[in-house]
A and B are shown apart, each in its own frame.
Chain A
């Protein structure tokens, strides 16, 4: 069961990288710039991925799941707030839809899945018996970790280009390129 928990953490980190990749694809290929609340959601997703990555890197711990849970809850609040703003009378929707659902709705669902995943994983108590340790991780785990850091870095650069070093507008309309 401990091995299963580890594999599931690998898969979850990969899934989070995939979701961030889809968001990036829409940003870069379709020029749909993320709104300020969308960026908070991305940060929440990266934070959730970090918690699960800690499980992969150091072995499972309740505090790692705590990192993922709290991050997912912050992201869910941001996404829920965006959904509420969209459904309120007199406001217009942000962005396109995927399979009939807006991005913010998908974000609520994804964060819900992360919370549910962590809650279910916490029932697998055998994974905590080995304790946290600085394991010498394999090539796959280390590659996954570096890939995750690269995705987080890409988001950081993207946000810097969109917002600069100041507060972001609610709806960015273009990149704040430093060489302009």
Chain B
């Protein structure tokens, strides 16, 4: 699950390199969603902060 943002960011980077700007930005949006999920999952770990 944690690898998913990175995999998506690689896809976004590849799309950018190959010239697909809009596709790249949409893949980044998906990566952002997974980043936020990972952040929410792990930000509550150490101190059990309600988030």
Q: Are B35 and A149 in contact (CB under 8 A)?
A: no
**Beta-carbon contact of A156 and B43 below 8 Å:** no
B-contact bits for A88-113, CB 8 A (1 contact / 0 none): 10010000000000000000000000
Complex Cα gap A63–B42 (Å): 28
Check B46 against A91 for contact (C-beta < 8 Å). Answer: yes
- Tell me if A159 and B6 are in contact (CB < 8 A): yes
Q: Does A115 contact B (CB under 8 A)?
A: no
User: Are A39 and B38 touching (Cβ within 8 A)?
Assistant: yes
* B17 pairs with A149, CB closer than 8 A: yes
CA distance A167 to B43 in the complex (A): 13
Instruction: Count chain A residues whose beta carbon lies closer than 8 angstroms to a beta carbon of B.
Output: 47
Bound state CA distance, A81 and B49, in angstroms? Answer: 10
Q: Report Cα–Cα, A44/B39, bound state, in Å.
A: 10
Chain B hits for A81, CB < 8 A: 39, 43
Q: At the interface, yes or no: B50 with Cβ under 8 Å from chain A? A: no
Residue of A nearest to B12 (CB): A50
- Choose among B9, B25, B39, B45 the residue that contacts A77 (Cβ–Cβ < 8 A): B39
| Residues A152 and B43 in contact in the complex (CB < 8 Å), given A43-B35, A57-B17 | no
Assuming the contacts A44-B35, A85-B47, asked whether A163 and B1 have C-beta atoms less than 8 A apart, the reply is: yes
Please tell me if A23 contacts chain B, counting CB pairs below 8 Å.
no
Residues of A within 8 A of B16 (CB): 50, 53-54, 57-58, 145
Is the pair B24, A88 in contact by a Cβ cutoff of 8 Å? no
Report chain A residues within 8 Å CB of B14: 149
Contact, CB under 8 Å: B2 / A163? yes
Partner of B19, one of A134, A148, A155: A134
A97 to B2, CA, bound (A): 25
Contact call A132/B21, Cβ cutoff below 8 A: yes
For residue B26, give the distance in angstroms from its CB to the closest CB of chain A. Answer: 11
Whole-angstrom distance between the Cβ of B13 and the nearest chain A Cβ? 4
20 other A-B residue contacts (CB within 8 Å) besides A57-B21, A170-B46: A36-B2, A39-B2, A46-B9, A46-B13, A53-B13, A54-B21, A81-B39, A81-B43, A85-B46, A88-B47, A134-B19, A145-B16, A152-B6, A152-B9, A156-B7, A156-B10, A159-B6, A163-B1, A166-B1, A170-B45
